[in-house]
A = this chain, B = another copy of it.
Amino acid sequence: MARRSVSTSRNGRRDAPYTSESLLAVAVEVFVERGYDGTSMEDLARAAGITKSSIYHHVRGKEELLRLAVGRALDALFAALDEPPAREGRAVDRLQYVVRRAAEVLVDELPYVTLLLRVRGNTETERWALERRREFDHRIAALVGQAIEDGDLRSDVDPRLATRLLFGMINSISEWYRPGRGRTRQHIADAVVRLAFDGLRKPSSTR
């Protein structure tokens, strides 16, 4: 998927030649809007304003586009786990770093993560993506478990349930966040970290 093709712009929406990346961006939009199962190569060609054979110049088919798209989201999430602040120090601080980065990745890679969250497991690529998501969740749950053991997180919520609720909160951002409107990435990531770790209640109020 490294070649470039000159688009045959059937609808005049696009003059520049497609790169694999710009084609992927169009495909992800269509997958999110119509659902992956409901998208045909024809739909993709129409949305991109090029012929189906131009698409086949870049990829073997729509499943390869799905793999590239969800792979981009997964790579960004796993990369966060490998950054030094996610690897060094107390588990609670590493967790806090990863929670912030996961919210940022969601905002930065919005359509790619949105697509990843909608994957249901009907194709081999979808099952692979679900498996990678589970692997990510296990690594987070392990961090939560370690931070409880260290005495930094409350022990009255079990790690897997806490992980699910935490990422439920983060992932829900994909349902309402639209770039350039209202809140910034920083504002959202701050709110997520505050709510996740310290909750809504005012720190000084009685518990």
Binding site for B on A (CB under 8 A): 35, 38, 92, 144, 147, 151-158, 161-162, 164-173, 175-176, 183, 187-188, 191-192, 194-203, 205, 207
Indicate if the CB atoms of B175 and A161 lie closer than 8 Å: no
Specify which of A152, A162, A169 lies most central, judged by the most chain B CB atoms within 10 Å of its CB.
A169
Indicate if the CB atoms of B200 and A201 lie closer than 8 Å: no
Indicate if the CB atoms of A165 and B172 lie closer than 8 Å: yes
Q: Which residues of B contact A152 (CB under 8 A)?
A: 201-202, 205
Q: Which residues of B contact A183 (CB under 8 A)?
A: 161
Q: Kindly report how many copies of this chain are found in the complex they form together.
A: 2
* Contact (A151, B195) CB under 8 Å given A162-B200, A171-B172, A173-B168: no
Q: How far is the CA of A168 from the CA of B153 in the complex (A)?
A: 22
Indicate if the CB atoms of B196 and A197 lie closer than 8 Å: no
Q: What's the nearest-Cβ distance from chain B to residue A49, in Å?
A: 25
CB closest residue in chain B, given A162:
B200
CB closest residue in chain B, given A155:
B202
CB closest residue in chain B, given A92:
B201
14 contacts between A and B (CB under 8 A): A92-B201, A154-B200, A154-B203, A155-B202, A161-B183, A164-B172, A164-B173, A165-B195, A166-B195, A168-B168, A168-B169, A172-B172, A198-B199, A198-B207
